[in-house]
Amino acid sequence: MTTDSTLAIDGPRFWSTVMRSGQIGPGKAGGLRRLALTDADKEMRDLFITWCTETGCTVTVDRVGNIFARRPGSDEHLPPVLIGSHLDTQVAGGKYDGIVGVLAGLEVLRTLDDRRVRTKRPLELVCWTNEEGARFTPPMVASGTFAGVFDPDWVLRLRDDDGKVFGDELKRIGYDGKAAVGGRPIDAYFELHIEQGPILDRETVPVGIVTGGYAVRGMHVDVHGETAHAGPTPMDRRRNALVGASMLAVAVNEIGWTYHATEGKATVARLVAWPNKAGILSEYAQLTCDVRHAEREVAERMWAEVKAAMADCARRASVEMSVAGEWQFGSERFDPGCVRLVREAAKSLGVRHRDILSQAGHDAYYISRIAPTAMIFTPCRDGISHNEAEHAELDETVPGVNVLLHAALARANR
Ligand SMILES: [Zn+2]
């Protein structure tokens, strides 16, 4: 690959878009609370489309609200190279997770415009809807739909915790697009994302070349017990769903500790109970848990232990437990050709880099099922993420964006 190392992004211009985004949907502690399909999400989407339109891109929105800004290539018959990530955040999220990736893509387009670079293949900048899954589960639902994993009509019927429907909310903010979801050829997909872990920050390496992800297995567990009076009901007659779910929560956490030495993780992130009132035992609870490990076989072993713990906790709490939904992702390996382009871009730009595995889920996982895909990680302070204290520095992020620029350019012109 021949790289014109004078072709570089405008760092301050890029960062000004990140800072502007950081004002939309403020959280309580300096971060963001910009849940999918809320008014704040609409405000950010509108601004994003304004920026894309200013570069001369044609913007389309598909039926699940994914936004595509297309920059024509010299051969419009060739499938496009996609660059993107997400603009929604967690309930208490940072200003960088996902956002840096989308706005890095915007900066790539602006840089190519500045230099009047025409690529052979079209470039498309994409913002995927509801990546976080913080409002509508599952996460990465719209990129998954684009990849054919989920049915669009099923997605449009999803409900949030308040019973609001995905399709209604999409319409309310004006992003119920007309374009079909996916089903068209994609040449390649590149996603830049903050690492959300401590490795790059600790080693002061600005670029992580993501070769793949941790294997993840997760599920919702329904727990059924029986309501009863908290006072007179003897201990041996109780079927408290909340207690069964709590036992499982602790057991899952213990499994995480068992695999701590090899960086295994086990998480219970959500627990709801009904009626969840003082003085009465719960007849229903639901918890959401997952396990993660770099090696698929180990993740499978952890998962088997979670399933065994489920049976054990159900027996000890005299409740019934059943799987209400199960998923797995992350054992995908990214495309060797695209990963090589990222590595070559880093080398020829003289950017320090290392290979890394992703421990979080990303839209790139689903897209890797339908198109050659690569990811670039940039550092975030202390690896803090999904927290309003999430922080990234311009100087540590710019090298990754330049690598993105040159890798995408090489792919689009090959
Ligand atoms: Zn993200």
pLDDT tens by residue, 15-54: 999 999 999 999 999 999 999 999 999 999 999 999 999 9
DSSP state of 326: E
Average the pLDDT over 209-222 and give the result.
94
Count of CB atoms situated within 10 Å of the CB of 149? 18
Quick check: helix, strand or coil at residue 162?
A: coil
Is there a single domain that holds both residue 298 and residue 369?
Answer: no
pLDDT value at 2 more than 60: no
Q: Which of 327, 362, 381 is the last residue of a domain?
A: 327
| Residues 6+ away with beta carbon under 8 Å from 124 | 68, 69, 70, 71, 80, 81, 82, 83, 84
Q: How far is the CA of 76 from the centre of ligand 1 (A)?
A: 31
pLDDT value at 241 more than 60: yes
Q: How far is the CA of 279 from the centre of ligand 1 (A)?
A: 41
Supply the CATH number for residue 166's domain.
3.40.630.10
pLDDT value at residue 3: 64
Is there a single domain that holds both residue 198 and residue 276?
Answer: no
| Residues 6+ away with beta carbon under 8 Å from 59 | 49, 52, 53, 67, 68, 69, 70
pLDDT value at 1 more than 60: no
Average the pLDDT over 145-149 and give the result.
96
pLDDT tens by residue, 58-101: 999 999 999 999 999 999 999 999 999 999 999 999 999 999 99
Q: How far is the CA of 140 from the centre of ligand 1 (A)?
A: 9
Supply the CATH number for residue 317's domain.
3.30.70.360
Q: How far is the CA of 295 from the centre of ligand 1 (A)?
A: 22
Q: How far is the CA of 62 from the centre of ligand 1 (A)?
A: 20
Cα–Cα distance measured from residue 217 to residue 298, given in angstroms and rounded to the nearest whole number = 11
pLDDT tens by residue, 243-257: 999 999 999 999 999
Q: How far is the CA of 86 from the centre of ligand 1 (A)?
A: 7
Average the pLDDT over 231-253 and give the result.
98
- pTM over 0.85, yes/no: yes
Q: Which of 327, 351, 381 is the last residue of a domain?
A: 327
Q: How far is the CA of 303 from the centre of ligand 1 (A)?
A: 24
What percentage of residues in the chain have a pLDDT greater than 90? 95
Is there a single domain that holds both residue 280 and residue 151?
Answer: no
Q: How far is the CA of 87 from the centre of ligand 1 (A)?
A: 8
Domain membership flag for residue 4: no
Q: How many domains does the chain have?
A: 2
Confidence of residue 143 (pLDDT cuts 50, 70, 90): very high
User: What is the torsion angle, in degrees rounded to the nearest 10, for the CA atoms of residue 318, residue 323, residue 329 and residue 331?
Assistant: 60
pLDDT value at 334 more than 90: yes
Summary mean pLDDT of the chain: 96
Q: How far is the CA of 92 from the centre of ligand 1 (A)?
A: 13
Cα–Cα distance measured from residue 35 to residue 115, given in angstroms and rounded to the nearest whole number = 36
pLDDT tens by residue, 173-188: 999 999 999 999 999 9
Is there a single domain that holds both residue 22 and residue 164?
Answer: yes
Is there a single domain that holds both residue 102 and residue 244?
Answer: no
Q: How far is the CA of 321 from the centre of ligand 1 (A)?
A: 31
Is there a single domain that holds both residue 223 and residue 248?
Answer: yes
Q: How far is the CA of 356 from the centre of ligand 1 (A)?
A: 16
DSSP state of 382: G
Q: How far is the CA of 247 from the centre of ligand 1 (A)?
A: 30
Is there a single domain that holds both residue 247 and residue 309?
Answer: yes
Domain membership flag for residue 2: no
Domain that holds residue 349: 11-214+331-413
169-186 burial by CB neighbour count: b if 16+ within 10 A, else e? Answer: bbeebebbbeeebbeeeb
Strands 284-293 and 265-274: antiparallel
